[in-house]
Amino acid sequence: MPEFYGTVAAADAYHAARANIAWTGDDAAKQAALIRASAYIDGKYQAQTNCGRWESLFSGVKTGGRAQSLQWPRTGATDNEGHAIPPDEVPIEIEQAAYEAALREIVTPGSLSPDYVASQAVKREKVGPLETEYAVRDAASGATSVRPIITLIDELLAPLLGCKTYCGIAVFVV
């Protein structure tokens, strides 16, 4: 089973077409960046339901079930216009998002999923007469709040994201 979306060769072509000169290095470094990028995509595009369960924001279910390490391919998946995505297909949007994320990872490894330690966050720093207060994440928002927001990746994946139903108590009146 693949560990990342797309291929190194396709990523090379994608970045060459866009003149992304930062996409450099040997194939092993590019593959490692693609692995981290794929993990970022799978992790970022999920949400915690109001009953505490984490769910993918992509429709359908993993075609290979629990044995499948990545979120794609998916069975029963559709895009936001209702078009079915074949259960053996990884959408081009996923691959392109992985290439964009991998570009950031090859430039600064680990930048997509930085560690966050609430007790080490600086709220106020004073050096002599100068004082600076930094925007700080609260402990409740945790590590997900320090992840970068990459608009291009969000826009690439938008056609695959849909509303999820959340669990809870429901009362049906007939």
Q: How many Cβ atoms sit within 10 Å of the Cβ of residue 45?
A: 18
Pair (21, 4) in one structural domain: yes
User: What is the domain range of residue 13?
Assistant: 1-112+150-174
Instruction: Identify residue 28 by its one-letter amino acid code.
Output: A
pTM exceeds cut of 0.95: no
pLDDT of residue 171: 60
Low-confidence ranges of the chain (pLDDT < 70): 1, 118-123, 133-146, 163-174
Pair (137, 52) in one structural domain: no
Pair (167, 81) in one structural domain: yes
Residue 30 CB contacts under 8 Å (≥ 6 apart), including other chains: 8, 11, 12, 23, 102, 106
Cα within 13 Å of Cα(127), Cβ side: 1
Quick one: DSSP state of residue 45? S
pLDDT of residue 49: 84
For residue range 40-66, what is the model confidence (pLDDT) as tens digits?
999 999 988 888 888 999 999 999 999
pLDDT of residue 139: 47
pLDDT of residue 29: 97
For residue range 131-145, what is the model confidence (pLDDT) as tens digits?
776 655 554 445 556
